[in-house]
Amino acid sequence: MLSRGLAERGHEVTIAAPRGSMLALRAREAGLATFEEAAFRKPKHLWSAMRDVRVLGDHLRVVPYDLIDAHGSQDLWTAVLARRRAGTRAPLVFTRHNTKRIAAHPGNRWLYRQVDHLILASGSILERYAPFLDRGILLRDRVSVVHSAYHPDRFHPGVDGSSVRAEFGADPGTPLVGVIGRLVPDKGQDDFLRAAAVVRRQHPRSLFLLAGIGTAEPALRSLAAHLGLGDAVRFLGFRDDIPEITAALDVSVLPSVDCDASSAVLKEALACGVPAVATDIGGAAEIVRHGDTGHIVPPRHPDRLAAAILSLLDDPPAARAMGVRGSGEMAARFSPDRLTVETLAAYRAALAHRQMADRAAHS
């Protein structure tokens, strides 16, 4: 999305991604150049990582890029070392998309000294970098907050979810509550199921959808059975009709306990006019305005999660009004155009910083 926006503004963009990956495929489909010689496997694969540094470094030596933007921790290490191998002075930007802690050990302190500009997917990530800011390894004026965007052509108030409701036998009076995302412990679907058991006692016709796949699925199925939820919970697996599933919901829930910095699911739900309930993790409170476009609750409190869901199910007109307000906000605040413009501003800051550093080095 970002690369397409940059290309539309006349910038030449190359996406480095593993050969055969979905990212590389989508980049080519979008008419973008790709570099697919690096595997970007986890650092424990030492020989693969060393090869990545070599092939990417050789590529950077040949192609005169003006700027490099890394989007993952192992990608950052690869980019830093490849840039040194190539001897290029192209500024390095690191875009961080999650809220996991960053150890301030000597290796990471050295690593972040190589970064010209840091882009954070939400303001919530900034506190993770306090040790680096306190030591002067990173400077606040070289850090930008740029939330990710959503696809407004796919998620909007006109999306029709009636076919999904029909699929699950949900008539207009059947409350449909769902979580969309990978089935992994970080996402907190276990808390959602515990909240669902409370909700169903007051709304016995409620249905609860879990769309996604992941390692936690067996444990979640077992928990649903233990809670006596029976067929009220539907595990949908991998689906490619997420806009329609989202639009079918009465409430979209993000019960995360870690990791989510700028959730696409929240933006997509609100864009479709569906009110959201989210735990106060990462940038959720920067997306959902508590009491106005949805509710923010503490993580790991299924009772609070249930109460927030019930408050929306018990007052459909107020819930619909929240969704309408959310839809307008998402279109204004999280469009692909806004993502591109704000990222370009960070890129220009990185280029200006590198130019100043080069002038100082030669003065």
Residues 138 and 234 in one domain: no
> What is the value of pTM for the model shown?
0.92
Which residues, including other chains, have CB under 8 Å from residue 31's CB and lie 6 or more apart? 7
Please check whether residue 152 is in contact with residue 129, taking contact to mean a CB–CB distance below 8 angstroms.
Answer: no
The one-letter amino acid code at 276 reads A
> Is the pLDDT assigned to residue 344 strictly greater than 90?
yes
Is 216 among the domain residues?
yes
Q: Label residue 356 exposed, middle or buried (CB < 10 Å: 0-12, 13-18, 19+).
A: exposed
What is the C-alpha radius of gyration for the chain, rounded to an integer number of angstroms? 22
Please check whether residue 251 is in contact with residue 276, taking contact to mean a CB–CB distance below 8 angstroms.
Answer: yes
- What residue has token string 């700027």? 67
Is 284 among the domain residues?
yes
| Coil/strand/helix, residue 112 | helix
Number of folded domains that form the chain: 2
Helices (H), the chain: 2-8, 22-29, 46-62, 73-86, 106-113, 130-134, 162-167, 189-202, 217-226, 242-248, 264-271, 284-287, 302-313, 316-333, 336-362
Half-sphere exposure at residue 103, Cβ-oriented, CA atoms within 13 angstroms? 3
pLDDT, mean over the chain: 96
Q: State the residue range of the domain holding 233.
A: 162-333
Question: pLDDT per residue over 153-204, tens digit each?
Answer: 999 999 999 999 999 999 999 999 999 999 999 999 999 999 999 999 999 9
Strand 68-70 to 92-96 pairing: parallel
Give the C-alpha separation, 319 to 197, whole Å.
21
Is 219 among the domain residues?
yes
Rounded to 10 deg, the angle between the 73-86 and 106-113 helix axes is 60
Residues 194 and 73 in one domain: no
CA angle 222, 224, 230 (to 5 degrees): 115
Over residues 23-51, the mean pLDDT reads 93
Is 156 among the domain residues?
no
Give the C-alpha separation, 65 to 90, whole Å.
6
Lowest mean pLDDT among 19-23, 65-69, 166-170, 356-360: 356-360
User: In which region does residue 17 sit, left (phi positive, over 0), alpha (psi from -120 to 50) or beta (all else)?
Assistant: beta
pLDDT of residue 357: 82
Residues 222 and 103 in one domain: no
> Is the pLDDT assigned to residue 356 strictly greater than 90?
no
Residues 129 and 243 in one domain: no
**Residue 136 — pLDDT band, cuts 50, 70, 90?**
very high
